[in-house]
Structure 1
Amino acid sequence: MDIALTDRLAALRADLPRRAELAYLFAEPLMHDAVVTELDGYAVIATPRGNLYTGLPTSLQVYFGNGAPGGRVRLSTAEPSCFVWRPASVDIVMDSHDIAATEHYERYAWQPGVGLIEMTAPVTYCGPSDHAELIEFYRSRDTARFDLAMLDGGVFAIYREDGRIAGACGTHFVNRADGVAMIGFLEVSPQLRGRSLGRRLMAAVTAALINDCDTIVCDIAPRNVGSQRAVAAVGFTPTCTKFVGELRVIG
């Protein structure tokens, strides 16, 4: 990687006020073998297929540089099936491709100093003996982007009803060296909703991270009102908007 680009990436990672927005820069599995370029004041990160989310195509992530204005950014790619994360004020133009926003997320960040509710049984932390059942639970819920590799070094909380997992929440990634983590995979069986289980699961995972991480984020779709309420009750507040777009070949 070019030294100037390495310095650029390091500068972005050190931009503490924007660590929540730039959280994916700290996901070590995502950044392994990534190609970083710079275009019009933006850092553009292209990551190999399946580095963080197995099964997803190659991803392009576009981040603001310091002081870079909003506007149009033109990229060239030979990969017609990929995802683009971008700040809301940036219009990305792909040579020979058309980008359509297929997903929209609000990013929430936990506010240090906010008190967390005490974790009580039957919410417990997931251990190795729970892994097989947790994987099956997420499969039964068709949970997007969960991968068993995330259990290695990650933090997951589970809720049991009649001895079986009926709710869970965990981390997409944890980077304790830099103090950044992303939480997600919040699932509760439909018949148990309305009992504040999502809030308790989110609180349990957050509580396990706060001693090592000062930046803890999660991405929630605007239509997911239940998850919005759960994270707000734990102390998360909106910080920025992210879009995921699938590239489509023009013509």
Structure 2
Amino acid sequence: MKITTAVIWLVAALVIARGRRPMLLVCAIAFAAGFVWTEYADSIRQTGPLTRLFSSSTLTTWTLGAPLDRIDPTLWALWIWHLTPLGVIGLIGLVFIRAVPGDRRLWVLSTIAMALAYAVFPTLFAQHSYYAVAVSPAVALLLGAAWRGAILARPRRFVLIATAALAVGTFAVSLPKWIVAFGPADPDHELVSAAQIQAATSPTDRVLIIGRDYSPAILFYADRQGIALPLAASVTDLPADLVAGYRRFDCGIDRAGDCVAITP
């Protein structure tokens, strides 16, 4: 579990703990473990010329975003778009939640976790679609509550038809995501770039990829070892002896897959 995932669930758990000492103790241990691990990971990252760019202290703004990001409609739209394949449209059924008897702590926990996810890490959840997995249990729990509430408050046939319609609508709206995930898609032209790199180099060459941030995709598909230079760094940030002999290529995403060899 990533520390950013643990934080939203642990804070949500603390909110509903209400003085339960065992639960508070578990949360405290988890927070302590996360802090120790982060400190240890940062100490490792500080030893490398590239990895130190990704230590916790240098990524604060990227991780937490700016204050106004929390009310940015563009980021909200991206976040909802990433949640769509999880069936978030079905949460409309929560209007019937008052009809559901019993303990609602799980639903409260889920609601708090989702609210915290966007309140604390707006840019992460908006920029990275896979971050939606962190709140997928919350969506599942709330969908279950919504469905049960609707079943108790409305005719079963109506609920089943509405559920089927929402399921079909969810699939239709999120179809572009499924195509990218499972179809023969290459939106960033990584396969094209990889084919060029593979043709221009030998298996023993070390390759430096510029213009694709720290993504290893081109190196992976080209079956080459090397370095993907982060956009926040330049070649001069690297020790000269580290990249000596590397074949260098500018594969900027704006080149539509065309990689240009660079002479050191």
Q: TM-score, normalised by structure 2?
A: 0.22
**Between Structure 1 and Structure 2, which shows a larger proportion of strand residues?**
1
**Greater relative CO, 1 or 2 (CA 8 Å, sep 6+):** 1
Q: Max radius of gyration: which structure?
A: 2
Q: TM-score, normalised by structure 1?
A: 0.23
**Between Structure 1 and Structure 2, which shows a larger proportion of helix residues?**
2
